[in-house]
Amino acid sequence: MKNMWLLDLDTVIEIFELAKKHGKKEGDNIQAEFDEIMKKYPDKFKYLGNTNKDIDLLTGDLREKGLKILNLNEEKRKRKRNEK
């Protein structure tokens, strides 16, 4: 099961910046940084539930319901296709 959270873009950027500061590179696990920021600002995190779906399937399902969802995996795949 994977937990799903709703948070604002500024918080996501803060997590990525902290991970970078800790020497993490693209593709590294940033769970520790996520947990650290969540402890610091618990009000910025809204628990949505959990799922067995992978991120691509979940993203598609949510878009079918009319939500705007950013899937960073899709953006990465698009960049790779454009580089060829």
41 with 64, same domain? no
DSSP state of 76: H
Alpha carbons 8 and 69: distance in angstroms, whole number = 12
Domain coverage including residue 62: 53-84
Alpha carbons 20 and 26: distance in angstroms, whole number = 9
Query: For residue 31, what are the CA distances in angstroms to 63, 82, 83?
Result: 25, 30, 29
25 with 58, same domain? no
**Per-residue pLDDT tens for 57-80?**
998 998 999 998 888 888 888 888
4 with 26, same domain? yes
48 with 63, same domain? no
Number of domains in the chain: 2
Give me the pLDDT at residue 9, please. 93
User: What is the CA angle 6-11-15, rounded to 5?
Assistant: 110
* E-only strand ranges, the chain: 2-6, 46-51
**Per-residue pLDDT tens for 8-67?**
999 999 999 999 999 999 889 999 999 999 999 999 999 999 999 998 899 899 899 999
60 with 48, same domain? no
